[in-house]
Amino acid sequence: MRLTVIIPTLGRSGQVARLLRYLGGQTRLPDEVIVSAPDAAHVELPESCPFLLSLVFGPIGSSAQRNTALIPSLERFDIITFFDDDFVPSAEYLEQVEKAFVENDGWAVVMGIVVKDGAMNAGLTWEDAEAALRASEGKKHDGPSVVDHVGAYGCNMSLRSSLVGGLRFDERLVLYGWQEDIDFTSQMRSKGRVVCVTSIRGVHLGIKTGRVSGERFGYSQVANAIYLIKKGTVPASFALPLMFRNIAANLAKSLWPEPFVDRRGRLRGNMLAIRHVATGRIEPEYILKI
């Protein structure tokens, strides 16, 4: 099977270069890596790569940048793997992804388990990631080896390209694109299983640069959830608890916020979005006006 890795990126050129060098150590090399960025200023290239490397440029935003690379890849590759530019996969990651698709015709989307996630804290270093991956080697994950999901976590997800058809990432989910990964992959469930394979591992560094402001992100936490429920692609049983957990966390922590999270900005964004939703205004793109 032909396999490509797509890396959308913004404002993290050094991180992209390090990830590209690191991917050269995969036990199953990608047939091509495609970096999707607004322009060349966002990409620093290593001196050499043991795989074909290409760059595509287009509009800013997670959904738009995913689509810019996805569309020309569909006819060329059997497996399309998306990595965030701050995701560090285990050395066997791509080998295991290919094996999963070859052995399971009914699987549409495969993701690996995130053994450590810097998005939940101040962020992790590359050294933290390598240490976490070493510590996880040989350890069996508690619970089943394959778990079905509503959708996949966009920091690491792989698609069976023959099942994508006309599906695209929703570009109304602008900029950081909160929940664009769940929206897209939940629609893939009509074509096959969306699964997490717990033997496939990686670490998400959770780098804070290149993200949207707290107020914009807080607006998206509410507006995007309601938009996707109304759109019918993400069940309310998934989106509403996530939305309420985020609002509760922003409210509870706004008095003593973590230094790495703009809780007060997020809360302001939450409240603005709630006011808009209450008046029937469901507009994810509004964050462009904030």
pLDDT digits (tens, 9 = 90+) for 35-47: 999 999 999 888 8
pLDDT tens-digit map of 156-191: 999 999 999 999 999 999 998 999 999 999 999 999
How far, in Å, are 57, 69, 170, 243 from residue 81 at the CA level?
18, 11, 18, 27
User: Which percentage of the chain shows pLDDT scores above 90?
Assistant: 86
pLDDT at 35: 97
pLDDT at 252: 94
Q: What mean pLDDT value characterizes the chain? A: 94
Q: What's the mean pLDDT in 71-90?
A: 96
Q: Which residues contact 100 (CB under 8 A, 6 or more apart)?
A: 107, 110, 195, 197, 200
Side-chain half-sphere CA neighbours of 238 within 13 A: 15
Q: Residue-wise over 65-76: b if at least 16 C-beta within 10 A, else e?
A: bbbbbbeebeee
**Phi–psi pair at 88, nearest 5 degrees:** -115, 105
Q: What's the mean pLDDT in 9-33?
A: 95
pLDDT tens-digit map of 125-146: 999 999 999 998 877 777 789 9
Q: Residue 185 and residue 149: Cα distance in Å, rounded?
A: 9
